[in-house]
Amino acid sequence: MKKLLLSVLIISSTIFINKAVAQLSQGGTPFSFTVDSKHLPTIAYQTMPSFDLAALKAEDAVNDLSKGPFRFGFNHYVSLNPANSGTWTTLPNGDRLWQLGIKSPGALTLNLAFDDFYLPKTASLFVYNSTKDFVIGAFTDADNQKDKAFATDLIPGEAIILEYYEPAAVANQGRMNLFRVTHGYRGVEDYATNFTEKSFGQAGSCQVNINCPFGAGWQNEKHAVVCLVSGGSEFCSGALVNDVPQDGKPYILTANHCGSSGFSTWVFRFNWEAPGCTNPGTSPSTSQSLSGGTQLASSANSDFSLVEITGGLAGGTVPASYNPYFAGWSNVDVPADSAWGIHHPSGDIKKISHAANACISGTWSGTPADSHWQIGLWTTACTEPGSSGSPLFDQNHRVVGQLHGGPSACGNTGSNMIDYYGKFSMSWLGGGTNTTQLKVWLDPNNTGATTLNGWGPTMGVSEKPASVSSFSIYPNPSNGEFNMDVNLNSLQNVVIKIFNVVGEVVLQKTISNITSGNYSIDLTNQAKGIYFADVSTTTEHSVKKIVVVE
């Protein structure tokens, strides 16, 4: 170990800024940035072995056609920790500094995962690239998780440094075993020296940035959508979803095929988007990320996965500085009149797509009949690998599914411009157990809610669940003759749509300028069976199941 001299030179004027991804941390500056480097030992690098990049790219060319997770990197598995690698330096006051360099030749990015991570109070960890212009940290005891796992977001370059500062008062208490180093080889063109015609990222040329005028009506919902780094080397998409208690539980809805293990090292990247409509030349500096989660429920039938974020929370929820939005949803099996998707295609910045036509029931990749929504046709943009797990919003801005797959792609036309989303309505009860359904997590008090509005606690959006007390339909069941009582607080128009079980509208009418009254719904010309009454005003929306019997 090298003893640092008391005459060390402090460089107080040096300021280093994280230029791209801001992983939740306590801020500050690595100790080594404040001293003359000649007073510290030369950093010892561990170099990762080469791998068959050509073979990976050939696999990607095939796998990308399935619209699954977007693989961006190759995982090196290691076991590196302060006891077997790196260099320790003891400072004059007894504090200690551990530094370890990691190099993977040719990497566009590197990201790390630990399987035995524990930092004592007052200790700190930074990770930065070799040019010292991209820094994440300080990570502290606030980043400790019960399962001792931790992971970082992507760091640009082929060489990075881990720097751990341990005060003398907590000597030898910290642990961090690095078990995975991911060599990023695509999907992050902002870190490369030469840019393609696509400018930033890998997404197709037809994709539309969320902050284009086309996305103006979706500026709340965009804050729900995240880019997921799963398994260390794959990108998927997902979304924060609201629960009926509206208590800020950090639940992420994504696709089951985005991963079945390793959730404690998943990284959830928020607000990664262009500031305007034009593609930027480098990665936007607005993004923020959290690390660590646990899967609560999943089902292959509707390809859903509900994951709770566990790392880096503030008061048990996503930090207010992230401007989180918890998306609303509908668990009613009624097709959307039109559909919108917000997603991260090919691991790129946030995009928006639109299908200006109704969804229909369908199936995808061997799933049960009517388990998915097939969007009619994308009329603006589409999805790509990496969009998997992203939310499908209906015309009421509520999530009705998450992306499973489909043939759409920039340049495709006609019947190929479709995709399939696992139905939220099927996922609601799922397999009937806590680990195979959404209901027990999103409606824990069993209120029977069928729809829920979105909620943005830091954005002035605080929409409680839409009241259903203003409308009552009876008798139910009936022979087809129903009465509807209406009791509103103000003069409004009431729109009534009746859907059959396959999503066809069998009755639609508008009652103009009313506050209260009793109105008839006549389904005597319809076959016996289950129907859904969709009743909406400018301030309320309710869907009720009604039954026609003989």
Tell me the per-residue pLDDT of 364-388, one tens digit each, with 9 for 90 and over: 999 999 999 999 999 999 999 999 9
On whether residue 92 sits in a domain, the answer given is yes
**CA of residue 476 relative to chain centroid, distance:** 40
118 and 228 housed in the same domain: no
* 501 band by pLDDT with thresholds 50, 70 and 90: low
Q: What percent of the chain has pLDDT over 70?
A: 89
Q: What is the CATH number of the domain that holds 534?
A: 2.60.40.3080
Q: How far is the first Cα of the chain from the last one, in angstroms, to the nearest whole number?
A: 88
pLDDT (0 to 100) of residue 503: 65
**What's the rounded Cα separation, in Å, for the pair 226 and 203?**
16
Average pLDDT over every residue of 40-50: 95
pLDDT (0 to 100) of residue 192: 37
Query: Cβ–Cβ contacts within 10 Å for residue 374, how many?
Result: 19
- The mean of the pLDDT values for the chain is 88
Q: What is the CATH number of the domain that holds 309?
A: 2.40.10.10
- Reply yes or no on whether the pLDDT at 36 is more than 70: yes
Which of 291-305, 412-426, 476-490 is predicted with the least confidence, judged by mean pLDDT? 476-490
User: Do residues 478 and 544 touch, judged by C-beta distance below 8 A?
Assistant: no
**What's the rounded Cα separation, in Å, for the pair 285 and 275?**
9
User: Do residues 479 and 549 touch, judged by C-beta distance below 8 A?
Assistant: yes
* 188 band by pLDDT with thresholds 50, 70 and 90: low
* Residue 123, phi then psi, degrees to nearest 5: -85, 160
**CA of residue 112 relative to chain centroid, distance:** 19
**What's the rounded Cα separation, in Å, for the pair 66 and 348?**
18
Q: For the chain, how many structural domains are there in total?
A: 3
pLDDT (0 to 100) of residue 111: 97
State the residue range of the domain holding 83.
2-186
On whether residue 451 sits in a domain, the answer given is no
403 and 308 housed in the same domain: yes
- Rg over CA atoms, the chain: 26
* 4 band by pLDDT with thresholds 50, 70 and 90: very low
On whether residue 494 sits in a domain, the answer given is yes
Active site residues: 257, 303, 388
* 198 band by pLDDT with thresholds 50, 70 and 90: very low
Please count the CA atoms within 13 angstroms of the CA of 315 that sit on its side-chain side: 5
Task: Give the tokens for residue 259.
Answer: 């991963």
**What's the rounded Cα separation, in Å, for the pair 350 and 404?**
18
**What's the rounded Cα separation, in Å, for the pair 202 and 18?**
23
232 and 381 housed in the same domain: yes
394 and 533 housed in the same domain: no
pLDDT tens track for 205-218 = 999 999 999 999 99
**What's the rounded Cα separation, in Å, for the pair 284 and 188?**
12
Picking from 162, 273, 167, 264, the residue whose alpha carbon sits closest to that of residue 210 is 273
Q: Across-strand partners of 423?
A: 401
pLDDT (0 to 100) of residue 10: 30
Q: Across-strand partners of 498?
A: 507, 533
On whether residue 372 sits in a domain, the answer given is yes
Average pLDDT over every residue of 141-146: 92
414 and 364 housed in the same domain: yes
Domain stop point among 186, 220, 252: 186
pLDDT tens track for 13-25 = 223 333 445 666 6
Picking from 106, 255, 254, 284, the residue whose alpha carbon sits closest to that of residue 186 is 106
pLDDT (0 to 100) of residue 468: 37
> Which are the contacts of 413, defined by CB distance < 8 A and separation ≥ 6?
none
Higher pLDDT, 203 or 390: 390
pLDDT (0 to 100) of residue 459: 67
- Reply yes or no on whether the pLDDT at 178 is more than 90: yes
pLDDT (0 to 100) of residue 11: 29
- Reply yes or no on whether the pLDDT at 547 is more than 80: yes
On whether residue 316 sits in a domain, the answer given is yes
Helix, strand, coil percentages in the chain from 3-state DSSP, rounded to 5 = 10, 40, 45
pLDDT (0 to 100) of residue 504: 77
Burial of 217 (0-12, 13-18, 19+ CB in 10 A): exposed
Burial 6-22 (b: 16+ CB within 10 A, else e): eeeeeeeeeeeebebbb
On whether residue 192 sits in a domain, the answer given is no
436 and 312 housed in the same domain: yes
132 and 223 housed in the same domain: no
